[in-house]
Amino acid sequence: MSHRIIVPIGPYHPLQEEPEFFQLYVEGEKVVDIDIIIGYNHRGIEQLAETRHYDQIPYLVERICGICSSSHPYAYVLAVEDILGGEKNVVPERALYIRTIVDELQRIHSHLLWLGLAGHFIGYNTVWMWAWKYREPVLDMFEMITGNRNNYAMFKIGGVRRDIKDEDTSVLKKALDELVPAIDMFRGAIMDDPVIQARLKNVGILTKQDVIDWCVVGPTARASGVNIDVRRDEPYGVFDKLSWSVIIEKEGDVFAKTIVRILEMYESVRIIRQCVDKMPKGEIDANIKDIPPGEGIGRVEAPRGECFHYIKSDGTNRPVRHKVRAPSFMNVASNKVGAVGGTISDAAITLAAVDPCYCCTERLAVIDRPKNKKIMNGWDLIKLSQEKTERIKKGIEK
């Protein structure tokens, strides 16, 4: 009889950017069962939302996640606009285009972030460094359009808060043109690499039936041949006016999930280009004042899958109930089938392949407070770090 031991991953583990706890039950090399323990990051946001008025909630919900920080406010405003008669009847046309651009830029940056992490998890650190390098210009685009690299504060009920300036659109287009060769490179580096194929194919398979039973959403479901995408099924923004396709793979393994995300970046670039070309002039905000009593549901295809918000209003300025369901809530639970049956060395990448939500990076600057003067910027810090490396190298040589 084989001996069963427990291998804990987490709650705080160098591989995880966020606290979560997996207990792997292992017989030899094989994972026979898994316990997923979450809740280390619970902040009570649904309850907090009941104490905020409608205009404050977008700021609250975009802090649920630093990576999909436009999906949650978008799903929330869609839920409220559902009470008001639907996004398309309420929001001005130009704002719909701006919403779509922000939503798709976010998908590119999120998929690049995941690609880097996935590379890191399988020990392919070159992919990690390069993916995050090419993610920087996307964040710069966000800074140009919204003023922020993360937590964009763009969404409001009835429109958006900031317009995209005409002169910015050419910069945006140029950045997209430069991004495409980078995605080509990743596609080549991953799809044509026999080592990566050997590492990721037939690992952590979710069958189509598993996806249905565990109610999995997003790229994780699409990699198993389940043809769902909120952008096409219930088009919000201007997705129904553009030409793009939903990426489906059949195999359900980690490799298929990687392919889906890489190919989706091309579609996002296509979508943004069309938006920039077709965007009409006009108002960006409908100036909604009151929210009538009623119930509304808003759904957005976040980079990880369907993001679901439910709002119940009683006609006051605060919601009675605000239910939030992030895609990872459904996807992480499916690790119960994805990781079990594989080997322990596959567990880390399998658990990461559903793209669980991590908190996002922050830019660093040292400020001299009394004079409010920047004394060091990113380059100075890199220089400091390089100098330190040189010192250490010299120490080793001695």
Interface residue with another protein, options 235, 241, 246, 270 (CB under 8 A): 235
Tell me: does residue 193 bind another protein (CB under 8 A): no
b vs e for 288-314, b when ≥16 Cβ sit within 10 Å of the residue's Cβ? Answer: beebeeeebebbbbbbbbbbbbbbbbe
Radius of gyration over every alpha carbon of the chain, rounded to an integer in angstroms:
22
| 26 vs 230 by CB, closer to another protein | 230
30: number of Cβ within 10 Å: 14
Dist. CA 296–CA 96, nearest whole Å: 19
Dist. CA 342–CA 344, nearest whole Å: 7
**Which residues are within 8 A (CB) of 22 and not within 5 positions of it... i.e. 6 or more apart?**
8, 9, 10, 34, 35, 36, 37, 335, 339, 347, 351
Interface residue with another protein, options 62, 81, 82, 264 (CB under 8 A): 82
Question: How are beta strands 294-302 and 305-313 bridged, if at all?
Answer: antiparallel
| 162 vs 336 by CB, closer to another protein | 336
Interface residue with another protein, options 216, 269, 352, 353 (CB under 8 A): 216
- Position 319: which residue type? P
Long-range CB contacts (< 8 A, 24+ apart) of 6-14? 7/344, 9/347, 9/348, 9/351, 10/37, 11/37, 11/40
What binding mask, one character per residue, do residues 36-75 give for another protein by CB under 8 A, x or -? --xx--x-x-xx----------------------------
User: What's the min distance (Å) between Cβ of 2 and another protein?
Assistant: 25
Tell me: does residue 84 bind another protein (CB under 8 A): no
What binding mask, one character per residue, do residues 339-378 give for another protein by CB under 8 A, x or -? ----------------------------------------
Dist. CA 75–CA 78, nearest whole Å: 5
Tell me: does residue 330 bind another protein (CB under 8 A): yes
Interface residue with another protein, options 5, 15, 129, 320 (CB under 8 A): 320
Tell me: does residue 299 bind another protein (CB under 8 A): yes
Interface residue with another protein, options 323, 343, 344, 376 (CB under 8 A): 323
Interface residue with another protein, options 163, 234, 251, 283 (CB under 8 A): 234
User: What's the min distance (Å) between Cβ of 324 and another protein?
Assistant: 9
The partner residues of 309 in beta bridges, in order of sequence, read 298, 324
What binding mask, one character per residue, do residues 257-296 give for another protein by CB under 8 A, x or -? -------------------------------------xxx
Helix/strand/coil for 387: helix
**Would you say the C-alpha torsion 8, 10, 16, 18 has a positive or negative sign?**
positive
Q: What is the DSSP string of 160-220?
A: ESSPPPHHHHHHHHHHHHHHHHHHHHHHHHHHS-HHHHHHHTTSS---HHHHHHTT--THH
Structure tokens at 394: 């010299």
Judged by CB under 8 A, the stretch of 147-155, 195-203, 213-221, 277-285 that binds another protein is 213-221
Helix/strand/coil for 226: coil
User: What's the min distance (Å) between Cβ of 377 and another protein?
Assistant: 40
Judged by CB under 8 A, the stretch of 140-148, 158-166, 184-192, 327-335 that binds another protein is 327-335
Dist. CA 185–CA 198, nearest whole Å: 19
Q: How many residues bind another protein (CB under 8 A)?
A: 37
- Position 223: which residue type? A
Interface residue with another protein, options 153, 171, 180, 228 (CB under 8 A): 228
Judged by CB under 8 A, the stretch of 70-78, 177-185, 228-236, 360-368 that binds another protein is 228-236
| 213 vs 368 by CB, closer to another protein | 213
Interface residue with another protein, options 45, 153, 297, 340 (CB under 8 A): 297
Instruction: Give the binding site for another protein (CB under 8 A).
Output: 38-39, 42, 44, 46-47, 82, 85-86, 212-216, 227-228, 230, 233-235, 294-297, 299, 306, 308, 310, 312, 320-321, 323, 325, 329-330, 333, 336
